[in-house]
Structure 1
Amino acid sequence: MIPLAEAQAAALELAGARPVVEVGIDEALGAVLAAPVVVADPLPPFDNTGMDGFAVRSVDTQAASRATPVTLSIVATIAAGHDPNDVVVTAGTAARIMTGAPIPKGADAIAIVEDVIVDGSEVHLTAPIAAGTHVRRRGSDAAAGERVLAEGTPVTPAVRGLLASLGVRKVFVHRRPRVAVFSTGDELTDLDPLPPGKIHDSNRPALLALVAEAGGIPSDLGAIPDDPALLGRAFDEAAASADLILTSGGVSVGDFDYTKQVLAERGTMRWMQVAIKPAKPLAIGRMGQTPVIGLPGNPVSSIVSFELFARPLIRKMLGARTWHRPVLTARALEPITRHPDGKLHLVRARAHVRSGELVVEPYRLQGSHVLSGLAGANVLALVPDGDGVAAGEPVRVLVIGELDGPAGVSIVDALEA
């Protein structure tokens, strides 16, 4: 068996970042910036109000108090999206203004609606307003010439929104890798009800979703029977059209040799036994210039192997700055038992935050065919070779899903606790 670190390093050597392309921001979601984004025009492009209220001259408000309010005449109403070029706030006047509207000439502060009394065409202020109050200055978010997004930044929904607010319509990104996915095995079928001896193909749908989640573009090549000619055609099609080939099944000791035979004839492969449980068998290599990763056929092993080997490679091909899932330290709420066998055990578990501490509970069923535990897991507890982890002891966890707090606890509940 080879160490996990050696197998991961070998998988990451298969490919680098994909070529740089220019795409519209609508297509960029999920990709990674290949060049920094520099602001052409300031954001916001003009001084504007952050609140509904009245644009005033701060000097006119300094004597205001509840006992002696300052009264100003309302000379205009300025809505967001309208040019107030013909509006001038002079001594003793104010302009009604809506959030986001430009600040009119003469005004330097906003008195918010909650703090004034409106009486017809007049507004009464009961407290002084400092210059700049609730004014969002031109360029306060981003100045012209400022680099707002660095190379290697993933294009998230928030990044896409920022690009749109800057008027950026196209960006340079690394082309998202096309990932061909197929399963192998005579036992797989899409028929329902299941014929005798057949099973539904769970690996391929899961892997297609994992590819998309990682940022790749999945290509579904179906389930291929244990037939050398059909397997050969599938591999040839994948190598001609994809940046990465992912298969599941046919890499374990004792499996039918067809997948290995076809890959040996068409590519250069390395067959591994990795010192982990589950997901011990692994195949990596190339068909021509196209990387190939062969994952185990057991459903849990296939997904765990993807997380450890395929996902980091896809992230690297995207040009991302971080390739691996985060690893955190949690406290085991109950024992995580195992026996010495020379392997790192990746135990399906559920982690959540309790009283500010990350705690973890393992699932009872850990067989490599039991998908139900993995479906509910948000971490894999990394249990080194030995006798396991006692309740209350720390354990490292690989985060593979969304961490959560106690059931039913909202942000408000947490803040009031």
Structure 2
Amino acid sequence: MSQAPVRTPLKPLDVALAELLAHALPLAGNERVSTFEADGRVLAEDLVSALDVPAHDNSSMDGYAVRAAECGDPQAWLPVSQRIPAGFNGEALATGTVARIFTGAPIPAGADAVVMQEDCTARAAEAGDASPAVQVQKMPQSGQWIRRRGEDVARGDVVLRHGERLSPASLGLAASIGFGELSVAPRVRVALFSTGDELVMPGEVAPADMKPGAIYNSNRFFLRAMLQRLGCVVTDLGIVPDRLDATTAALKGASQQHDLILTSGGVSVGEEDHIKPAVQSLGELSLWQLAIKPGKPFAYGRVGAAHFIGLPGNPVSSFVTFLLLVRPFLLALQGGTELAPSPITLPAHFVWPKADKRREFLRVRRNAAGGLDLFANQSSGVLTSAVWGDGLVDNPAGRTIAHGDPVQFIPFPAFLA
């Protein structure tokens, strides 16, 4: 009696990710780009400040620079001895006077506080008076409304570190210490294609004219968008027919000028799934099928000098595996150091009564009560769940969820920023 074939155990996600990242050596070479153009890029050098920010003590309010000890009498009129707008240095503050000052202007020597103009009564210069005057209605505290030199950045500080992915805020920080250009990791060159004779491009065939079994290629759109958000240079190779020769030719051609080949579909075990034999004929396949749901059919290997990642054809499976595996892989190729967002513990406002052998990623969204609601249909083909939801619950294998249980929530914006 013949024995049944031995099935290779499905690989746990954490093990698969570690193996995947072990292959993701940072790409060679860096490039200098305008700070204006560096959003989303990965920094290739530490940024060290050559100056203090702010460069001097300055006012954080429009008002009056004062000596706090001289402002104890709200009926006293204090002469305004000078006017200091932003970008100009004032003179030392004369005893018994105040200085009209504006936000960002340097604090004059001798002043130790700023009083908001709303807390003062101003009087214009009268006949015979050399200057206008004010009454300070609220006794100030020494140091109030003063931004101290270097309180944001001190000279010599490392303000942004090698491997950080640049955000709009970090671009502003780089500019604040004088960097008009930045050294960043090279963009990852990605060849993208889908497999499947059932796939049709939106706009090419009207819904009424779709043949039985045909579906629109949605994966191509969200995968390309996510690659571009990660700063990749994408070559879209379209839809490859479900033939071994066509799949092999597409992989071979894509391997010659790309760092990564990313495919969608064809990585299962059906007779029309040609990715596995095609990759093995050209290179090697070192990772195959994961113990996660959705997303079991996932593959990693090499085709020539290029990395290869094969994603499932079902849209939610493709979407989730991109977030969990492809995104950190691409960031690692760029030398990134923050590869995965941290989950948030929130209460489940739903019941998940049936445990699965695989680690599950459930589409949920936060509600007004501070908990998480579950999308009713968790099928891997229901892309609506990824639009309705605002994140994933990371549910360990073998675990049921009762209403109120704490669960690990990963918001989509943390992945897609």
Category of TM-score, reference length = shorter chain: 0.7 to 0.9
- TM-score (norm: length of structure 1): 0.85
Partners of 2:344 and 2:409 within 8 A in 1? yes
Alignment size in residue pairs: 393
Partners of 2:164 and 2:338 within 8 A in 1? no
Residues 1:370 and 2:378 aligned together: no
Which residue number in structure 2 is paired with residue 56 of structure 1? 66
Partners of 2:358 and 2:397 within 8 A in 1? yes
Match of 1:118 among 122, 127, 135: 122
Match of 2:101 among 97, 101, 116: 97
Any idea what the Cα deviations from partners look like across 1:55-75, whole Å, max 9, x if unmatched?
23445x15x323xx3322223
Partners of 2:81 and 2:94 within 8 A in 1? no
Superposed, which structure 2 residues align to 1:15-164 within 5 Å? 15-19=24-28, 20-59=30-69, 61-62=70-71, 64-66=72-74, 69-81=75-87, 83-84=88-89, 87-120=91-124, 121-164=132-175
* Offset of residue 160 of structure 1: 0.8
Q: Distance in 1 between matches of 2:287 and 2:216?
A: 27
AA matched with 1:158: A
* Offset of residue 323 of structure 1: 1.9
* Offset of residue 398 of structure 1: 4.1
Q: Distance in 2 between matches of 1:113 and 1:363?
A: 53
Q: Distance in 1 between matches of 2:52 and 2:264?
A: 51
Q: CA RMSD in A?
A: 2.7
- Structure with the bigger percentage of strand: 1
Match of 1:349 among 341, 364, 376: 364
Q: Distance in 2 between matches of 1:122 and 1:274?
A: 76
* Offset of residue 304 of structure 1: 1.7
Partners of 1:35 and 1:173 within 8 A in 2? yes
Q: Distance in 2 between matches of 1:393 and 1:131?
A: 50
Identity %: 37
Structure 1 spans left out of the alignment, 5+ residues = 404-417
* Offset of residue 43 of structure 1: 1.0
Match of 2:10 among 2, 9, 14: 2
* Offset of residue 167 of structure 1: 1.2
Partners of 1:377 and 1:401 within 8 A in 2? no
Q: Distance in 1 between matches of 2:324 and 2:396?
A: 16
> In terms of mean alpha carbon deviation, does 183-192 or 223-232 score higher?
223-232
> In terms of mean alpha carbon deviation, does 364-373 or 88-97 score higher?
88-97
Q: Distance in 1 between matches of 2:160 and 2:273?
A: 49
AA matched with 1:272: W
AA matched with 2:73: S
Report SS of the residue matched to 2:329: helix
* Offset of residue 254 of structure 1: 0.5
- TM-score (norm: length of structure 2): 0.85
Superposed, which structure 2 residues align to 1:13-412 within 5 Å? 13-19=22-28, 20-59=30-69, 61-62=70-71, 64-66=72-74, 69-81=75-87, 83-84=88-89, 87-120=91-124, 121-190=132-201, 191-194=204-207, 195-197=210-212, 198-228=214-244, 230-270=246-286, 272-338=288-354, 342-352=357-367, 354=369, 359-386=371-398, 388-401=400-413
Report SS of the residue matched to 1:148: strand
AA matched with 1:345: E
Partners of 1:176 and 1:317 within 8 A in 2? no
Distance 1:128 1:303, change over 3 A: closer
Partners of 1:22 and 1:172 within 8 A in 2? yes
AA matched with 1:189: V
AA matched with 1:365: N
Q: Distance in 2 between matches of 1:134 and 1:329?
A: 38
Distance 1:57 1:348, change over 3 A: closer
> In terms of mean alpha carbon deviation, does 173-182 or 240-249 score higher?
173-182
Report SS of the residue matched to 2:404: coil
Q: Distance in 2 between matches of 1:292 and 1:330?
A: 36
Distance 1:126 1:373, change over 3 A: closer
Q: Distance in 2 between matches of 1:236 and 1:163?
A: 41
AA matched with 1:253: V
Distance 1:136 1:308, change over 3 A: closer
Q: Distance in 1 between matches of 2:37 and 2:31?
A: 11
Q: Distance in 1 between matches of 2:354 and 2:320?
A: 18
AA matched with 2:382: V
Any idea what the Cα deviations from partners look like across 1:32-84, whole Å, max 9, x if unmatched?
3232211111111222211101223445x15x323xx3322223332223x23
Distance 1:21 1:362, change over 3 A: same
Distance 1:387 1:143, change over 3 A: closer
Partners of 1:300 and 1:371 within 8 A in 2? yes
Distance 1:337 1:113, change over 3 A: same
* Offset of residue 119 of structure 1: 0.9
Any idea what the Cα deviations from partners look like across 1:80-117, whole Å, max 9, x if unmatched?
23x235x4532233321111122335544322212211
Partners of 1:71 and 1:92 within 8 A in 2? no
Q: Distance in 2 between matches of 1:141 and 1:379?
A: 34
Any idea what the Cα deviations from partners look like across 1:128-186, whole Å, max 9, x if unmatched?
44443322232222222222223333211111111111111223332232322211112
